[in-house]
Structure 1
Amino acid sequence: MAVLFVAMIMALLLAPQRAAGYPWPVCGSGSSFAANDTTYLASINTIAATLPRNASTSPGLYATAQAGQVWAHALCRGDTNATSCSECLAQGFEDLPSACSYSKEATMYYEACFLHYSNRSLSASDDTALSSAFPFVYSTNATAEPARFDHVVSALLNATAEYAASVTPRLYASGAVTFDQEIPEVYSWAQCTPDLTPARCRDCLANMIQALGTPLYSVGARILGIRCSLRYENRPFLDGPVTVRISAGPGAPAPAPAPATAPALVPNVVTPVGEGTKYSVPGMVLIIVLPTLAAANLIAGLFIWRRRRRSPAQAKQPYPSYSGETEDTGSVDSMMMDISTLRAATGDFAESNKLGEGGFGAVYKGTLPDGDEIAVKRLSRGSTQGVDELKNELALVAKLKHKNLVRLVGICLEQREQLLIYEFVPNRSLDQILFDIEKREQLDWGKRQRIIRGIARGLQYLHEDSQLKVVHRDLKASNILLDADMNPKISDFGLARLFERGQTQGVTNRVVGTYGYMAPEYVMRGSYSVKSDVFSFGVMVLEIVTGMKNSDTTQSEDLLTTVCSITKLYLNTYHNAAWLMA
């Protein structure tokens, strides 16, 4: 009970902070629609069916749409390919209505795209749109030569903005400048929606540069808008070629290797135009420190519990080493299955056999010739993961054997297909039962407790007891499958990362996962660890106990905020009662 209480408290402490980093929702402070008004949400869903495809197939990676009283537009970053663009915007339509419940105007920013919808037409001639600014600034200063750095970065941003506005029809540009040995290069990006004229794009970017302010001492900053955006950093963050390169002046030394990790993002204490929210540094410190302490207590509790249950002989066994090499790839080759067998098992991936679909692809039920039932996960053709990388990852994941993990039984890499074959789990995923008013009656308190314990055991195995230390990064109710006896099995390791012995955290520039389950340090800085998984576990515990979904468009606020409000009310009441009795 103590462990569950700490997990719940950790989730509560982190609940209110949802607007920093990527994905970044900006909810309009104006009009909203009623909870029983399904018309507005239906219009959003109608646009969601076509806008991602239209934007990803357009030359400028931009598209607009209108349905009912909803107007929307979407833009992908100029270096993004069509597949990534479509997937990013589809994710936006999945996340944004939940993040900005009942708000008629909302915007969602991701690394590769942004999405905006409103109850009013946003014309390209609207001056208000050109001045909307949402800034992020890194907290770390770049160099011991701040004046020179400010001069160089200002020149780079102006050159990049000018190139985007006057040279390319897509109104997109990327830039770079060589600086010194400490900071080999500084990179930049500027982009406007392609429906702006060059003059209005130039005005929009000029407003952004002005709003960003001076001097520019930080290692990086970005300022995002619904018509144009601007960014610079002392490390590369774009996939495409540099279109603008300027000189930092005579005598600039040759580039040196760039830093491997990025400093923490801290939002500017600036109120975005049209948005009433402010962020303060002390508040952000509390957001990081308090959950970290709670997570440390939880991990310590799990570790002590595990040590007490281990026998003396087990306690003496050393932790297995991991070199990260691929010497076991042969074990994957032995798991290879023929594509014709899988097509026959699934009825050629018939729609009637589809069990579900996620960001990585669809899952189909199948029956092998020997009668064994399987679940075939068909990765989308747009996956950027190479075959060798996939085989190496599978060779390692195949080593994970635990009753609370879904078992991988085979793979297929034929005819441009990437298929993962898992054991079939008959009761499907936890979310399909937990959030269904009728089916949730199957989950009495005993079963819910067993599900929580089973997930905790599977998580403990991944973090502590397996040969490889694994951080899942996408724990959520839909990735918990239930067998015939309602025992939970953790599934979907598409986002999982392997840690070497002694490694405590990793950092990524591409934050992926499911909004509402991601820990703030992961959303804000791309930093993930076992604590990130524990946060997701805490959210699931609240969902299992309450039967409420964290991000539910039928609720006035999300589950974490609701529980946090109730907890604060209880603590205030307790404090007042104690004061009166003193």
Structure 2
Amino acid sequence: MAGLLLLWVAIITMAPRSVVGIYPWMLCGYDPYGGFVADSDYKAALSLLAATMPKNASMSPGHFATGQAGVASGDVWALAFCQGDANTSTCYDCLQQTFEDVISSCDYKDATIYYDSCLLAYSNIHFRADDDTDYSPTYPIRNLKNATKEPEQFQRIVAALMNATASSAAFNSSTRLYASGQAEFDKELPEVYAWAQCTPDLSPDRCWRCLVQIMRVLPTFMTDAVGGRVLGIRCNLRYETQPFFPGPVTVQLSATSARPPRPAVAPNVKQAPAPVAAIGEERRRRPRSQAQAKQPSYPSYSTETVNNETIDSMWIDIATLRAATEDFAESNKLGEGGFGVVYKGSLRDGEEIAVKRLSKSSTQGVEELRNELTLVAKLKHKNLVRLVGFCLEQRERLVVYEFVCNRSLDQILFDTKKREQLDWGKRQRIIRGIARGLQYLHEDSQPKVVHRDLKASNVLLDADMNPKISDFGLARLFGRGQTQGVTNEVVGTYGYMAPEYVMRGNYSVKSDVFSFGVMVLEIVTGRKNSDTSQSEDLLTTIWEHWAAGTVLEAMDPCMNNSCSESDVMRCIQVGLLCVQENPVDRPLMSAVAMMMLGSNTVSLGSPSKPAFTFSARPVPTLEMGHVGLVD
């Protein structure tokens, strides 16, 4: 099962809605050995399961079934599962529909499809209930509407309700390991409804641990959304301000509940972990000055993501930052972006800093700030910009970074005069440094991070032209086993976004690899991929030169006297391999950093024609009813 989790790439498909509302979402995996053909033994085995499993699951006490069919390479393992309050007829119809959808729409050896009333997952790898890695990746989905009245109280009650409902599902439910909940607010706020469920082959203790794992996604992704869900295979949860389940409520929670109830302890089961921290719950702080003692509350996150003391130690009061930047003087302005302005400053001890001042009118800036605090506080690597601190005071939202003296790569690389400073040795160092930084984000940091906005303007250069990746406002965390995500709102920069992200909202480490490949080709040529003054985009131009055997003609002419032609050719080849249309064909950053760019003895594959890129085109939006995939 662990192998399966590493292979999934999300693909959204819309199937008939005769069974349930706004679903389904299908996650169709990329098998490294290829898919299966229409008349294959694998598809025949899957069809055999389709003939038996809907009935087996719908007639079972837990509305759950696993199955296996086929022999040798044609083995298929499947898991079918219906919502705890679904009746036999609804369960049967829903699972029949899921099999029809995956058989007709997915030709790979692993897939999962989610409906409101059921889910189906299948693979050529056995689903094992006793496997600790088998909690499955998580797919957080949020309602696009935010709570507008009493958001802190709303978040606190949501967290309490989710903990109580999850605890009831694990320890106090029937064989279906399912519970539904309701929390009542005062007249100013809506009621909240919730459900949580595990596959009934899990023990109560393992069910609770599975639910705790996916509840930890809520503080990062849901914040003040009025509804959301986290989809897995072994467990799922959801909350909304409107009723969404037909059965009775099993957990009632009043608005006066100050804390989530402690989970019950089932007989012969270990004590359950402590409940997940409330969304938006105010952290305890240790003020270091009178000014800091008056600081406002700031978002709370799972202790797995940001340690309280780490955040506390990074608080910088507003007076210090006003003094450091000369009250945000125009002369100290370093640049301006979509969320605000960046200023240079100097602290009393002489440390130079860059202060990002988020716009007061930008609601999106709040989410960016939360992201950056969550992500960057734990990231420690020489090729990542270091977070110095932050401030939430006097209606200011400020993020403080180390100052990097040569500013961003694009300001040098795309300037006809300044790029002469970048000889081939410096450009190689920049490429390799970016690769090492990405490798750390994708494979070495905990949790893993997908940047989602990697581009030349988000790579800063220090005094020795060493690169530092910056700006994590759009980045996303990946939990254990998760390899990709899906978003309803595509955000990023044209020219750097992978095609599967632009067209379907799918993002993964491989979408970052695509952006890296674009940057490699830009660094070698000194030309922007999004340069609208050119008749063709950069990728097309490079590919045509590669196919014609004239690729060296495309390199930046100011490097002619400083480069090795074989090194340039190798970098271009790596860049082309990174921008392949199919994400599976793109290398991992560890392979790029250690083998492709770190050694000339490793042979490289032959690239195919790169993906079509989007340089100045509108991005399609995935319409998913009133629920949008999290972003």
Structure with higher helix content: 1
- With normalisation by structure 1, the TM-score equals 0.44
- With normalisation by structure 2, the TM-score equals 0.41
Which fold has the larger relative contact order, with Cα–Cα distance below 8 Å and residues 6 or more apart in sequence?
1
